[in-house]
A and B are shown apart, each in its own frame.
Chain A
Amino acid sequence: GAVVSQHPSRVICKSGTSVKIECRSLDFQATTMFWYRQFPKQSLMLMATSNEGSKATYEQGVEKDKFLINHASLTLSTLTVTSAHPEDSSFYICSARGPRRAGELFFGEGSRLTVL
């Protein structure tokens, strides 16, 4: 299957700092990328959907100014958690899909964010 690389896999930061998470599709053009957040023993909650070259569509309740998503190219999307606080600690995971609707989603390895 296609490969999606997500970095960093783990990050610890101080409260008030910003953290950037990268999601790269290595061998296909990711027309659409999804960003999810997952709390322990819970489901993956969709944060935003981004299409290459367009502004991300955020889900209700997700702060756009806090979780900045950029999808500037067909192989790279970034999630920046700005002014992180302990409640932002979570597992963040991206997934990517090519141009075919209903195509399989390919997942990054996930990023464990801990805000002290």
Chain B
Amino acid sequence: QQPVQSPQAVILREGEDAVINCSSSKALYSVHWYRQKHGEAPVFLMILLKGGEQKGHDKISASFNEKKQQSSLYLTASQLSYSGTYFCGTEGDTGNQFYFGTGTSLTVIP
């Protein structure tokens, strides 16, 4: 049930770009993206609904391919504040359980 994310970890220099992928084995109704800092609750980034939409705000955007049951998060011109663990969260077409992905640790260095 748990979506699989890749890569598991990534280290970037400030200003570099990154892509985080999320893949599910189930048909999806929605995909959420969250960022979590150590010891804190996850912080909401965005939701994408089935329909193949792409969303973005500022330098963080995401896409959702419902046919492939995949979503990608794009971070451009990374900043130090982007560091943290990124999780996708998925809700299936049936039922209302909400599962988090395996997580991607992102570290931005000066």
Contact = CB atoms under 8 A, between A and B. Distances in A.
A110 B43 CA distance: 13
Contacts, number: 57
Range class of the A interface residue count: 20 to 34
Contacts of B101: 43
B32 A44 contact: no
A34 B97 CA distance: 8
Interface residues of B, number: 23
Contacts of A107: 41-42
Given A43-B102, A105-B32, A1 B41 contact: no
A68 interface: no
Interface of B: 1-2, 29-30, 32, 39-42, 44, 47, 49, 87, 89, 91, 96-103
Interface of A: 1, 32, 34, 36, 42-46, 49, 51, 57, 59, 93, 95, 101-110
